[in-house]
Amino acid sequence: MNKLKAIFLPFFSGVLLLGIWYSVAFVYAKNEGYEVQRIVIPFPHQIVAALWDERAILWIATRQTALAALVGFIAAVTFGYVLSMLLASAVWVKRSLYPWILVLQMTPVVVLAPIFVLWIGQGLPSITAITFMIGFFPVVANTTMGLISTDRNLIELFEMSNASKIQEIAYLRVPYAMPYFLTGMKIAGTLAPIGAIAGDLFAGSSQGGVGGIGFMVILYNSQVKVPELFATAFVACFLGFIFVGCVNWLHWILLKNWHESVRATDIE
């Protein structure tokens, strides 16, 4: 019964939303004419048609953006983790580095984007760097928190066993910080496609024919191809779902045996 509701309710609300969309677009078309309506509030079927017509070009754009997002994301997670280890290793390291990491984080990436382009050039390198900049802070902040908030009693347990610093890190701090790290990774995963698209808006280029999703947004916008613009939004949303889905899956795989966050849903 609940399963039926879980499928039926979103379906019903989806149909309702589509209905509202159609009615608004229809009323608009009656007042302003179908030509204007098409470039202001296109009918959903017009968006689907645009998606189909542009599928080849959007597919290439999506692949480009996905690549930039993935590389930036992996760099953010890797570098973020290593940096967290460093920050958690000693209080003086954290005191000297953390304020500057914050300063970097507080500087809006969109402001830095032209500088990146200046330094490392248009296209994939800059886009990846922008994605990286957006993603690495949540990883650093969360992982560091996990590493330094390890349960005092557990640390004493390791001390009583004459554990070495390396053993304490490997067998205690790293697994203890895992849920925190994964939380940071989830946020980075949500931000990565957004970062890649934003990066594309600033540093995208059409070298080799097409750019990424952000580039297509600029292109369609300048050509007043509004249904195509909506189609691009749909594709971007889809990419975001894939990213978040993968990270959530990883979260589940790594924590399903022991952590409250995934266990709770699993018990019954």
Partner 1 sequence: MAQITPSCVLISPDPDTPLVKIENASKRFGDTTVLDRINFSAKKGDFVSLVGPSGCGKSTFLKLIAGLHLASEGSVTIDGVDPKNAREEMAFIFQDANLLPWRRVLSNVELPSQLRGESKSKRKETARKVLELVGLSHALRHFPWQLSGGMKMRVSIARALTLSPKLLLLDEPFGALDEMTRDRLNEDLLRIKARDGWTAFFVTHSAAEAVFLSNQIIVLSAKPGRIAEVINVKLPTFRDADLRETPEYLRQVAIVSRSIRNAH
Q: By the criterion CB under 8 A, which residues form the site for partner 1? A: 151, 153-154, 156-163, 167, 171-172, 175, 178, 257-259, 263
Residue 63 or 259: the one with the smaller Cβ distance to partner 1 is: 259
Closer residue to partner 1, CB minimum distance, 32 or 159: 159
Instruction: Find where tokens 């610093």 sit.
Output: 165
What single-letter DSSP state applies at residue 222? H
- Residue with token string 């266990």: 263
Distance of CA 175 to the CA centre of its chain: 24
Minimum distance of partner 1 from residue 146's CB (angstroms): 13
Q: How far is CA 66 from the centre of its chain?
A: 10
Q: Which is nearer to partner 1, 32 or 151 (CB)?
A: 151
Long-range contacts of 154-159 (CB under 8 A, 24+ apart): none
**CB closer to partner 1, 53 vs 168:** 168
Closest approach, Cβ 102 to partner 1, in A, equals 31
* CA distance between the termini of the chain: 16
What count of residues does the chain have?
268
Least distance from partner 1 to the Cβ atom of residue 267, Å: 10
Q: Which is nearer to partner 1, 93 or 178 (CB)?
A: 178
Give least dist CB 160 to partner 1, A.
5
The least distance separating partner 1 from the CB of residue 246, rounded to whole angstroms, comes to 22
Any alpha helices (H) in the chain, and if so which ranges? Answer: 2-32, 34-40, 44-53, 55-89, 91-106, 109-120, 124-148, 152-160, 165-167, 174-203, 213-222, 226-255, 260-263
CB of 98 or CB of 252, closer to partner 1: 252
Q: Are 35 and 43 in contact (CB under 8 A)?
A: no
Please, are residues 32 and 212 in contact by the beta-carbon 8 Å criterion? no
Q: Which residue lies nearer to partner 1 by CB, 37 or 183?
A: 183
CB 95 within 8 A of CB 152: no
Cβ of residue 81: shortest distance to partner 1, in angstroms? 18
- As measured in angstroms, the least distance from the Cβ of 100 to partner 1 is 33
